[in-house]
Amino acid sequence: MGVDDEGVLNRIRRQRNEFSKGQKRLADYVLTNYEKAAFMTALKLGSEVGISESTVVRFASLIGYRGYPEFQKALAGLVQEKIHSIERIEIANGDMTQDMVIDNVLNADAEKIKMTLDNVDRNAFKAAVESIKNARSIYVVGVRSCAPLASFFAFYLKMIFPNVTEVASSNTSELFEQMMRVGENDVVIGISFPRYSMRTLKAMEFANNRNATVIAITDSKHSPMNMYSSCNLFARSDMASIVDSLVAPLSLINALIVALCLEKKEEVIGNLEMLENIWNDYSYGENDEINLLDEDLMADLRRMDE
């Protein structure tokens, strides 16, 4: 792993407990004000925090950089990413008329899927599929705008695996109550995008401490979700207005579901047939689904199994 593979902010978060008192003040300042810190000299940054220039330089080396200039460059990269994101929002909103909305939004979403595909870590994807396939129990965590993603993922995982829990709660205590049996043979999937959820992060920390396999579905290497995960899957999720674009994350989740169906073809066919029998036996005469069991889907699955 290169020095920037983890992300400068995650390096600081992970090592914070190892810092001296002055270094902790510097860490907290950078985490909160990295846009300003990126343009400060070591002397100016030290003065702002109340520590010496040499302490700032040592801090950069302590978190893995060859010196302060390389550390500063990493911070500048974060600022550049943020500027590009803001520019995209302004371009999308500034001169957009009502007639342009559908073209602009759908094209932007299509671009996010393409960017996700271009940068996907295929080894991480395969590792995630393998971990989920072999898990004793699977827990899926996502809150706020990510709750529908977690619910969608959990719904289809339940069509494949017997022990799947969608962890849904309005507070951290309820979350832990649903995860109290998590152990080393389990997989916990945390889904979170800016603004990141502290509840999801705490769930992933808890799972990591219990030696479960933790998978993060998030936006970039700078996401705090990566701190407790052994497998990171990134999808673009830029905000185009007040709405978080979660099209690319949903597409990534779809890919995981399809890959898992290919790995567990016999189980999927058996579960679908079982559901069909249950629906037939307990039908109440008012189906709220059209084509509950698609015959074409069953035929496709059987062909895969041949």
More confident residue, 68 or 109: 68
In tens, the pLDDT along 273-298 reads 777 776 666 665 555 565 555 666 66
User: Coil, strand, or helix at residue 232?
Assistant: strand
Checking if the pLDDT of 105 tops 90, the result is no
- The b/e string for 131-169 (b: 16+ C-beta within 10 A; e otherwise) is bbeebebbbbbbbebbeebbebbbebbbbbbeebbbbbb
Round to whole Å and give the CA distance between 152 and 245: 16
CA 176 and chain centroid, separation: 20
Write the CATH number of the domain with boundaries 8-79.
1.10.10.10
- Residue 196 DSSP one-character state: P
Round to whole Å and give the CA distance between 84 and 102: 22
Among 84-88, 111-115, 120-124, 261-265, the minimum mean pLDDT is found in: 84-88
Which residue in 207, 151, 144, 202 sits closest to 179, CA to CA? Answer: 207
Q: Which CATH architecture has domain 118-263?
A: 3-Layer(aba) Sandwich (3.40)
**Amino acid 87: pLDDT:** 46
What is the model's pTM? 0.65
- Residue 191 DSSP one-character state: E
Residue 107's pLDDT band (boundaries 50, 70, 90)? confident
- Residue 187 DSSP one-character state: E
List of residues 6+ apart from 235 with CB closer than 8 A: 112, 116, 217, 218, 219, 248, 249, 251, 252
**Amino acid 296: pLDDT:** 62
Which residue in 190, 194, 217 sits closest to 205, CA to CA? Answer: 190
Residue 147 identity (one-letter amino acid): A
Domain boundaries, given as residue ranges, for the chain: 8-79, 118-263, 265-282+289-305
